[in-house]
């Protein structure tokens, strides 16, 4: 399945399925996070191409499972209904900003054809970059924001999500991040994370009411995150004994 779009400035654009391997490679290399979650990312993957060079992928939209797929976030009469998540998206700068909306719209159409049990798509806008202007342009509905903690390693400049310090299946990631916390290498920031949902049908009902689109906002605030260091040390000791 391929969707072809004519554009004034870029010529004809193609959006089509691509392999998980290609999507992962391009995401890790080019997306600002440089991260990929094999457990939830990449159930369906789409690439964007210029028709004149159909073998050169210039961007990807990666759809997969929610972080907590068992969470009861919506109701729908279809017992097999599930809400997909737009996990990652990256587009080469040569295509311009309008191509983001084009890729989202085309990939949503292909996604709907690929899996009839997907009744909505959820995505989150990282407040460090903005509040989700592209989702507004793509007619997603807005359902508010929550605060997320990110931590910067002052030695390496790497940013990590708070989850890897508290709730992760990666033992090595847990050990590295918490040791960094204990020796004072991590600086903590609070960021707004905006939730957007694109329903595929009128029967989809999210558990929270739709809200008006937020005013433009961008950035992060430095905060102090006080944790129980004794508990962290005990957990590290236990895990090291298991290795």
Beta strand 82-91 pairing with 118-126: parallel
Give how far the C-alpha of residue 139 lies from the chain's centroid of Cα atoms, to the nearest Å. Answer: 18
Segment 154-201, tens digit of pLDDT: 999 999 999 899 977 788 889 999 999 999 999 999 999 999 999 999
Alpha-carbon torsion (92, 199, 193, 236), positive or negative: negative
- The model's pTM is 0.89
Q: What number of CA atoms fall less than 13 Å from residue 105's CA on the CB side?
A: 15
SS3 annotation, 53-88: ECCCCCEEEEEECCCCCCCCCEECCCCCCEEEEEEE
- pLDDT exceeds cutoff 90 at 39: no
Segment 216-225, tens digit of pLDDT: 989 999 999 9
Segment 22-31, tens digit of pLDDT: 999 999 999 9
Backbone angles phi, psi at 111, to 5 degrees: -65, -40
Q: How confident is the model at residue 67 (pLDDT cuts 50, 70, 90)?
A: confident
Residue 242 per-residue DSSP state: H
Q: How many residues does the chain have?
A: 243
Among residues 200, 63, 198, 38, the alpha carbon closest in space to that of 122 is found at 198
Class of domain 1-116: alpha beta
Tell me how far apart the alpha carbons of residues 103 and 96 are, in angstroms, rounded to a whole number.
12
């Amino acid at each position: 399945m391929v969707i072809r779009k004519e554009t004034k400035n870029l010529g004809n654009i193609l959006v089509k399925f691509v392999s998980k391997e290609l999507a992962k490679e391009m995401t890790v290399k080019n997306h600002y996070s440089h991260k990929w979650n094999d457990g939830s990312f990449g159930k369906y993957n789409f690439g964007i191409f210029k028709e004149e060079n159909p073998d050169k992928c210039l961007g990807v939209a990666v759809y997969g499972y929610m972080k907590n797929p068992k969470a009861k976030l919506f109701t729908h009469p279809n017992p097999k209904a599930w809400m997909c998540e737009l996990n990652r998206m990256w587009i080469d700068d040569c295509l311009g900003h309008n191509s983001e909306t084009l890729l989202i719209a085309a990939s949503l159409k292909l996604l709907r054809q690929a899996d009839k049990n997907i009744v909505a798509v959820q995505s989150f806008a990282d407040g460090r970059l903005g509040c989700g202007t592209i989702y507004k342009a793509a007619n997603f509905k807005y359902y508010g924001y929550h605060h997320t903690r990110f931590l910067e390693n002052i030695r390496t400049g790497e940013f990590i999500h708070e989850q890897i310090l508290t709730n992760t299946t990666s033992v090595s990631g847990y050990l590295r991040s918490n040791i960094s916390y204990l020796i004072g290498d991590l600086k903590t920031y609070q960021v707004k994370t905006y939730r957007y949902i694109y329903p595929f049908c009128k029967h989809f009902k999210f558990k929270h009411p739709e809200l008006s689109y937020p005013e433009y906002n961008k950035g992060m605030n430095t905060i102090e995150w006080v944790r129980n260091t004794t508990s962290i040390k005990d957990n590290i000791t236990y895990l090291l004994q298991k290795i």
